[in-house]
C-alpha cells in the first residue's frame, strides 16, 4: 500500500470494535491513520491502536472527512444513522452490524469462501455502496460445505448452531453473568436484554420484550450462507442460544451420496482457515477456539466405525468476534483495489 490510509472505526469501544482494532493492526492496514469513534458515554476513553494510544472521539457530521474506510461495529441503529454521511464523504464502508443489509448497492461478502467458488455472485465495484461481512457462522458453514463437496456429492446436511452471549455485546454478557450470580443466591433475575432466563439454559427464542430476536438472527445466517454459496439455503439450520460467554459451536450432520473414508473427509476440510483436530487430541471447544483465526473442526463417522460410510458428524468451534473481524478486514482488502492510494499525506 503506497500511501497511508485513514480508517475510522465507529463503535471502537464495543466488543466487535476492540477485536476489529486488533485485527486491523495485524493486517496490511497496520500503518493506517486510525480514528476511533463512539457514542456519547464512551467519548474520551483511551484505547490502544497497535503500540500507540488514542482517545475515542464523538461522532459528528465532519467525522468521516478524508476517511478512506469506515468500519461500523456498534449497532444497527448507529450504522443506519451515519452510513450515508460516510458514503457522501467518499469512504469505503464495511458494515459489521448488517444494519444496511438490503440497501441498494450493498453486498454481502466473505472472500474466504467466495474467492474459491465458481459462482461468487456480484463482486465489489465502483457502484458498490457498502459491504456487509457475512455472519461468522455463514462463513464457517460455507467453508465446510464447499470443501465437503470436494469429497463427493452431498445428499443432505443440517446444522445446529450454539450461540454465545458475546454475539450481542457487553450488556448481554453482563446480564448472563448477573443472572448466574442471582440464581445461585436465590435472587430476582435481571431480564432487560433477554426478557427470559438464559443462565443455565439453552433456548431457541428470547422473551417478547427482549432487545433481540433469535429467529431474525437465524434468518440472517441463512441469507448470508445463500449469498456466499450462490444457491438457495439448502442446509437446514437451527440457532440455539446457550449460556456461554464466548465462541460458537456448530454440530453438523452430513450424508454423502456414496460411502467415503473418514481420512478423505478430514483431508478435504483441512486447509487455510480450517484446522482439523484428529486422533486422540482434545476436541475443539468454544474455549479452545478463543483468539483463534481458524475454524476448529473434528469429524467422526455417524456409527462410530472406521469403515467407509456415507454419514458423518462434524463438530466445529470458532471465535465469533475474531472470525467476524478477520472477515471484515478481508472485505476491506477487496475494496482496497478500488482506491489504490490513501488520502492521508
CATH number at residue 249: 3.30.360.10
pLDDT for res 144: 96
Q: How confident is the model at residue 55 (pLDDT cuts 50, 70, 90)?
A: low
When mean pLDDT is compared across 61-65, 196-200, 327-331, the lowest value belongs to 61-65
pLDDT given for residue 337 in this prediction: 85
User: What are the strands, taking DSSP E only, across the chain?
Assistant: 6-10, 33-38, 46-49, 52-55, 57-58, 69-72, 92-95, 106-109, 130-133, 154-163, 237-241, 248-260, 274-276, 295-301, 309-318
Closest CA to 72 of 103, 39, 44: 39
In this prediction, residue 217 carries a pLDDT of 96
> Considering its fold, how many domains does the chain have in total?
2
Q: Are 62 and 207 members of one domain?
A: no
Q: Does one domain contain both 111 and 173?
A: no
Question: What's the rounded Cα separation, in Å, for the pair 199 and 182?
Answer: 10
267 is a domain residue: yes
pLDDT (tens digit per residue) in 231-275:
755 789 999 999 999 999 999 999 999 999 999 999 999 999 999
Strand pairing report for 248-260 and 309-318? antiparallel
341 assigned to some structural domain: no
Q: Give residue 118's pLDDT.
A: 60
Highest mean pLDDT among 137-141, 233-237, 333-337: 137-141
Is the pLDDT assigned to residue 119 strictly greater than 50?
yes
Structural domain harbouring 51: 6-133+325-336
Residue 324 has pLDDT above 90, yes or no: yes
pLDDT for 181: 98
> Percentage of the chain surpassing pLDDT 90?
78
**Residue among 72, 256, 206, 226 at smallest CA distance from 137:** 226
In angstroms, the CA 201 to CA 191 distance is 14
Q: Which letter, b or e, does each residue of 103-123 get, where b requires 16 or more Cβ atoms within 10 Å of its Cβ? A: eeebbbbbbbbbeeeeebeee
Tell whether the model's pLDDT for residue 35 goes beyond 60. yes
Q: In this structure, what CATH number is given to the domain that contains residue 35?
A: 3.40.50.720
pLDDT band at residue 342 using 50, 70 and 90 as cut-offs: very low
Confidence (pTM): 0.92
Q: Is the same domain home to 252 and 105?
A: no
Indicate the DSSP class of residue 59.
P
CB of 5 closer than 8 Å to CB of 342: yes
Which pLDDT value is given to residue 345? 38
DSSP 43: T
| Residues 313 and 215 reside in one and the same domain | yes
Which pLDDT belongs to residue 44? 47
For the segment 57-80, the average pLDDT, to the nearest whole number, is 91
Residue pair 164/249 in contact by the 8 Å Cβ criterion: no
- pLDDT, averaged across the chain: 90
Q: DSSP letters of 129-153?
A: -EEEEPPHHHHHHHHHHHHHTTTS-
Same domain, 55 and 83: yes
| Residues 94, 231 share a domain | no
Q: How far apart are CA 314 and CA 302, in angstroms?
A: 9
For the four alpha carbons of 139, 141, 144 and 148, in that order, the dihedral sign comes to: negative
Q: Considering just the CA atoms, what is the radius of gyration of the chain in Å? A: 21
Task: Please report which confidence band the pLDDT of residue 43 belongs to, taking 50, 70 and 90 as the band edges.
Answer: very low
Tens digits of residue pLDDT in 70-115: 999 999 999 999 999 999 999 999 999 999 999 999 999 999 998 7
Q: In this structure, is residue 344 part of a structural domain?
A: no
Q: What is the mean pLDDT of the segment spanning 1-25?
A: 88
Q: What is the DSSP string of 181-203?
A: HHHHTT-PPP-TTTSS--TT--B
342 domain residue, yes or no: no
Contacts of 288 (CB under 8 A, 6+ apart): 282, 296, 317
168/239 same-domain check: yes
Q: Is 22 a member of any domain?
A: yes
Task: Name the burial class of residue 183, with classes exposed (0-12), middle (13-18) and buried (19+) by CB atoms within 10 angstroms of its CB.
Answer: middle
Residues 120 and 163 in one domain: no
Amino acid at each position: 500500500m503506497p500511501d497511508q490510509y485513514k480508517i475510522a472505526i465507529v463503535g471502537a469501544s464495543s466488543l466487535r470494535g476492540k477485536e476489529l482494532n486488533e485485527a486491523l493492526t495485524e493486517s496490511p492496514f497496520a500503518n493506517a491513520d486510525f480514528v476511533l469513534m463512539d457514542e456519547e458515554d464512551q467519548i474520551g476513553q483511551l484505547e490502544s491502536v497497535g503500540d500507540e494510544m488514542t482517545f475515542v472521539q464523538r461522532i459528528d457530521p465532519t467525522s468521516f472527512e478524508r476517511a478512506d474506510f469506515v468500519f461500523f461495529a456498534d449497532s444497527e441503529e448507529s450504522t443506519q444513522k451515519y452510513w450515508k454521511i460516510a458514503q457522501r464523504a467518499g469512504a469505503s464502508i464495511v458494515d459489521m452490524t448488517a444494519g444496511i443489509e438490503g440497501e441498494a448497492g450493498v453486498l454481502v461478502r466473505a472472500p474466504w469462501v467466495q474467492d474459491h467458488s465458481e459462482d461468487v455472485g456480484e463482486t465489489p465495484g465502483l457502484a458498490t455502496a457498502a459491504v456487509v461481512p457475512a455472519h461468522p457462522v455463514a462463513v464457517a458453514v460455507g467453508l465446510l460445505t464447499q470443501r465437503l463437496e470436494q469429497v463427493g456429492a452431498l445428499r443432505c446436511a443440517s446444522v445446529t448452531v450454539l450461540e454465545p452471549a458475546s454475539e450481542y455485546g457487553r450488556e448481554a454478557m453482563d446480564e448472563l453473568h448477573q443472572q448466574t450470580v442471582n440464581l445461585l443466591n436465590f435472587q430476582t433475575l435481571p431480564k432487560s436484554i433477554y426478557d427470559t432466563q438464559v443462565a443455565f439454559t439453552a433456548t431457541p427464542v428470547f422473551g417478547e420484550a427482549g432487545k433481540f430476536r433469535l429467529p431474525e438472527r437465524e434468518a440472517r445466517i441463512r441469507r448470508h450462507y445463500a449469498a456466499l454459496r450462490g444457491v438457495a439455503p439448502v442446509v437446514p439450520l437451527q440457532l440455539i442460544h446457550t449460556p456461554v460467554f464466548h465462541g460458537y459451536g456448530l454440530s453438523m450432520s452430513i450424508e454423502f451420496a456414496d460411502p467415503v473414508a473418514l481420512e478423505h473427509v478430514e483431508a478435504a476440510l483441512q486447509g487455510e482457515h480450517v484446522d482439523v483436530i484428529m486422533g486422540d487430541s482434545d476436541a475443539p471447544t468454544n474455549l479452545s477456539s478463543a483468539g483463534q483465526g481458524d475454524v476448529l473442526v473434528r469429524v467422526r463417522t455417524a456409527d462410530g466405525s472406521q469403515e467407509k460410510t456415507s454419514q458423518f458428524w462434524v463438530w466445529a468451534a470458532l471465535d465469533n468476534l475474531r472470525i467476524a473481524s478477520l472477515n471484515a478486514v478481508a472485505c476491506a482488502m477487496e475494496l482496497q483495489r478500488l482506491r489504490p492510494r490513501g488520502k492521508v499525506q
